[in-house]
Structure 1
Amino acid sequence: MRQRAKPKREPLSRERVITAAMVLADEKGEAGVSMRAIAARLGVEAMSLYNHVAGREDLLNGMVDAVFAEIDLPASATDWKEAMRERAASSRTVLRRHPWAVGLMDSRSRPGPATLRHHDAVLGVLRAGGFSVAMAAHAFSVIDSYLYGFVLQELSLPFTSRAELDEVADGILRDVPTDAYPHLMELMTDHALRPDYAYADEFEFGLSLILDALEPDEVQV
């Protein structure tokens, strides 16, 4: 009887190692990513991973670069303000998908090609929009400070849905004397508990404040 051939295993590659590491990080956080855990996920020996990544720092470099690759590049032909708005929205979506990445995005001393391409594209749009080199740096910094800070705050909230928000608010209203914190109670009852309220709307409000405050400082010819 003819013996059935074993299915061919997909060759190990740097991309597969990094993808497996990102899936682990999405599930367990950065701390849950180890060479042993990645190897188990891929069905290989841990030592074989070192043929594709030099170590943990190289692995993190690759993971961060892969996250940057998922963010839409700002369109150079678009108005700088609209380009920054769209780029910030895409970044927020990607960082919510990979919460572990927020604190790592600009921490790499050896950034990968997607990271460099992303930063160059953002600066290119700002420079084309009339920002000097210094003002482009200021704009980039303040936008990302807001972006990363908002995502961190958003991810730490004790609710992820309208039903959970209502439950949290009901518990506070039930347990806290209404006259003890009148302004907080007013915020909850008159604002956060409105049927049309969504915390995500705060992102657009804050981003608009920043973008409207930024102005090009070079005369475009």
Structure 2
Amino acid sequence: MVRPAPEQNSGGATAGEPKRPRRIPLNRERVLRAAVALADETGLDGVSMRRLAQHLGVVPMALYKHVADKEELLDGMVDLVVAEFTAPAADSGWRESVRQYVLSARQVVLRHPWARAAIETRTRRTPIVLAYMDAVTGLFLAGGFSADLTHHVMHALGNRIWGFSPELFDESGGDAGPPPDPQAQAAAIAEFGRHYPHILRIATVATGGDLSGVGQGCDEQFEFEFALDLLLDGAGRLHDRGWNSRAPKGSGSAR
């Protein structure tokens, strides 16, 4: 007597056998998104090809079919971050449009704290990065800025277009350790002030003169927006005066 062949389900397993979970195909986007998630969790130093492979449940060699090396991986991670920036409303003026775009970049970079270091180390501009730079440049040109003034304003904005700026004071705090003795801290700051009175004077503005509050960090969001507004206001005044870099030194248009 011939027995019928075991019935198979669509997944290739015989009837009664448990279905094997279907493996999600690996592709470039999945690799990059996993790398971003890993960086969000561990920081940029925690991202390696081996660790990413473990995170995805594959062998490290499988990653190299989608990214050539660690540098290309970082380029792709930055691309995903930049793709999160929100373009401004079409009916905004040049100043508000640039402000909205840059503050959107800042919100994204604050969500991905590792992104600042990644952006600063990139030596190659990818198409996505170039498209964002081109869009910000285009907002000034559409606002009537000359190419000459726009060139210099983009230099002045610098890394602020990516949502961060170089800090004059170290706000990182690092490994703070146990809190210092308040009396010893006040004495140390007072001694510092005897040598560098002007720095101490501006440092205590935010603390109302309280020496124990010095070094606790400024409101970084306020400082970022203050600098951005200062630059945009200055750029607007130069634009209104018809400024150009080739005007003779001392002429009205170059001041």
Normalising by structure 2, what TM-score? 0.69
Give the 5 Å matches for 1:5-154.
5-105=19-119, 107-112=122-127, 114-146=128-160, 150=164, 153=167
Q: Deviations over 1:1-38 (max 9, x none)?
A: 71110111211110110111112222333232111111
Aligned residues of 2:38 and 2:52 also touching (Cα < 8 A): yes
Partner of 1:210: 231
Whichever of the two has the greater Rg, that structure is: 2
Q: Deviations over 1:107-138 (max 9, x none)?
A: 242503x3232122111111100112232222
CA RMSD in angstroms comes to 3.3
Counterpart code for 2:113: P
1:158 aligns with 2:173: yes
Query: Is the partner of 1:214 in helix, strand or coil?
Result: helix
Counterpart code for 1:175: Q
Specify whether residues 80 and 150 from structure 1 end up closer, same or farther in structure 2 by C-alpha distance, changes over 3 A only: same
Asked which structure has the greater RCO (Cα within 8 Å, sep 6+), the reply is 1
Partners of 1:100 and 1:184 in 2: CA distance: 30
Partners of 1:97 and 1:155 in 2: CA distance: 20
How many residue pairs were aligned? 208
Aligned residues of 2:105 and 2:163 also touching (Cα < 8 A): no
Query: Is the partner of 2:91 in helix, strand or coil?
Result: coil
Aligned residues of 2:28 and 2:67 also touching (Cα < 8 A): yes
